[in-house]
Amino acid sequence: MKVSVSSSPARLACWSGVGSVLTAIPFLIGTVFHVPRLPTPGCGPEMIFWADRLRFLVFLVPFACGITISILAEKRLRRGLKNEMWQESVVELLRRRINHPVWSVFAYLPLLVWFGYAFQSKLFHGTPLFWFLMAPTQTISRLRMMLRPKQVAGDRVLPDWRNFKPIQSEHWGEPRQNSFSL
């Protein structure tokens, strides 16, 4: 699959989201289904892969494809933002969509599900479900950081410490004037 650099930023963000969902699918499969080990014709360390070939196929292929899609889309989005390939109005529209409060609520959903599952089952077997929800949440967080507007030097909240003068005093080494003695 080839995503062109001239794609819109919304499309690249969408591809990043699709990749994160593909990355999360093995965790959902691990929670819902039991993937069996297949019988092997022999024994030994080389047969471990042969017995688990179905597990590798079910878990590793979507995970690897999802990571690849997500990384490539985010890389192209970052490059396009750095080179200012899109108009500011197009980027601002995506920025408003990504900063919608729904996504902030979605960020706490994995923890709530995980704790709810832990209290309900008294065991932490809900960890794959937590990671299923956490992968898209992390992607949204990375997209928010990428789309954050660049700060102008005058808009800084904290001063740049390199611009301060060195500390100077005319009273180095003298005792304090207002010290109390007992």
pTM value > 0.75: no
Distance CA 95, CA 13 (A): 10
Please state the rounded mean pLDDT for residues 137-146.
89
> Does the pLDDT of residue 126 top 70, yes or no?
no
pLDDT tens per residue across span 24-78: 888 888 767 777 766 666 676 666 666 677 777 888 889 999 999 999 999 999 9
At 48 the pLDDT is: 66
**What percent of the chain lies above the pLDDT cut of 70?**
74
pLDDT band at 3 (very low <50, low <70, confident <90, very high): very low
Q: Which of 35, 39, 42 is nearest to 128 (CA)?
A: 35
Distance CA 103, CA 125 (A): 26
Least reliable range by pLDDT among 33-37, 114-118, 148-152, 154-158: 154-158
Please indicate whether residue 125 or residue 174 has the higher confidence score (pLDDT). 174
SS3 percent helix, strand, coil of the chain, rounded to 5, is: 65, 0, 35
Tokens of 87: 């108009």
